[in-house]
Amino acid sequence: MYSSKIVGLGHHLPEQVITNEYLSTLMDTNDEWIVERTGIQERRWIDPAKDTVGNMAAKAARMALERAKVDVKEVEFIVFATITSDYYFPGSGVIMQRELGLEGIGAMDIKNACSGFIYALSVADQFIKTGMYKTVLVVGAEIQSTALDVTTRGRNTAVIFGDGAGAAVLQRSDKPGILSTHLHADGRYAEELYVKDPGSSRPREERQPEQILDTTGFKVVMNGNQVFKHAVVRFMEAINEALATNQLKKEDINLLVPHQANLRISQYIQEKLNLRDDQVYNNIQRYGNTTAASIPIAMSEAWAEGKMKENDVICLAAFGSGFTWASALIRW
């Protein structure tokens, strides 16, 4: 069986910076309230006139390919993680494929929210390890700002989410790269963090134009206490599972890159693992929660800052809607 290795990382973020101070002009909130609960100071929101999930992903992919010194024509397959496709269908994987001029290659969309990138990474890893492909593009991209309720009623979620895209180039390698991936879910909690519409399971009368004008079902519903309570447990379980599978200890982690859900969750995990500040990469302060894009954006920045060196052990971990949770252990 072959090994797969990440050979390039890239990201793209919209130009528009949305500060906490700006949000306080739209809803009853303030910088202190947001920072205390989430750690977020600002986030990026798209310009709907020029940004799409597909073209942001393509920009991130081009950066990753350029850094990897891999020609775009070498890409044989795309695994695209997003819950905010440009269209209800088709998925945005084919939109990015078109942007990159990769006519004919397969494109698979993964809809696992905050865990989406690790799920996508795992799928790509299997394709390479079994010999089906040599080069796979793995992407996480989201546009969430256009669906947020930016009033006081929606402030608990509106202050959290941002837009962006991140990408990784995976290639067949003689050296171990992706050591293992671990994927989990518990659908009993599906409605604790979800967007109800446009769902197909309602009667036709509920899906008519006059009902759709009531946009309540299109907003994010989140039971924050339940999400936090489960996240801190599942994050640790997934990380410990990855370490145990590879006969490693928490002291062997050079860098932990958690999904950027909430700075308090990341800090809790850091404390439990007894990791130094320089062993955990957080950028939620600048970008908010970009869901499936958060881990590849953070990895791309961490690599550019020299925080991921050859032979380092990199741990990725995520928890989110579904509930789903996942981890990956990587030898850089």
- How far is Cα 196 from Cα 223, in angstroms, rounded to an integer? 14
Give 252's DSSP letter: G
Q: 12, 20, 55, 114: which one is catalytic?
A: 114
Residue 207's Cβ-count burial label (10 Å; 0-12, 13-18, 19+) is: middle
Topology of the domain covering 3-175: Peroxisomal Thiolase; Chain A, domain 1 (3.40.47)
Q: So what's the pLDDT on residue 200?
A: 73
Per the annotation, the verdict on 184 as an active-site residue is no
Strand partners, 79: 108, 138
Q: So what's the pLDDT on residue 282?
A: 98
Q: So what's the pLDDT on residue 228?
A: 86
Residue listed under structure tokens 């954006």? 297
What sign results for the dihedral spanned by CA atoms 156, 157, 162, 165?
A: positive
* pLDDT of the chain, 332 residues: tens digit per residue: 899 999 999 999 999 999 999 999 999 999 999 999 999 999 999 999 999 999 999 999 999 999 999 999 999 999 999 999 999 899 999 999 999 999 999 999 999 999 999 999 999 999 999 999 999 999 999 999 998 989 999 898 999 999 999 999 999 999 999 999 999 999 999 888 888 877 777 676 665 655 555 555 567 778 878 888 999 999 999 999 999 999 999 999 999 999 999 999 999 999 999 999 999 999 999 999 999 999 999 999 999 999 999 999 999 999 999 899 999 999 99
Domain residue extents for the chain: 3-175, 179-331
Q: 11, 182, 230, 259: which one is catalytic?
A: 259
Per the annotation, the verdict on 315 as an active-site residue is no
Q: What is the residue type of 188?
A: R
Q: So what's the pLDDT on residue 202?
A: 66
**What pTM did the predictor assign?**
0.95
Q: Please, what is the angle between helix 53-68 and helix 294-304, to 10°?
A: 30
Does this chain's domain 3-175 share its CATH topology with 179-331?
yes
Per the annotation, the verdict on 259 as an active-site residue is yes
Q: Is 30 in contact with 24 (CB distance < 8 Å)?
A: yes
Q: So what's the pLDDT on residue 225?
A: 84
User: Coil, strand, or helix at residue 134?
Assistant: coil
Q: So what's the pLDDT on residue 197?
A: 73
For the chain, how big is the Rg over CA atoms in Å?
19
Q: So what's the pLDDT on residue 319?
A: 97
Helix spans in the chain (H): 20-23, 31-38, 53-68, 92-100, 116-129, 155-158, 209-212, 224-245, 263-273, 284-287, 294-304
Architecture of domain 179-331: 3-Layer(aba) Sandwich (3.40)
Residue listed under structure tokens 């350029």? 66
Phi/psi class of residue 322: alpha, beta or left (left: φ > 0; alpha: ψ in -120 to 50)?
A: left
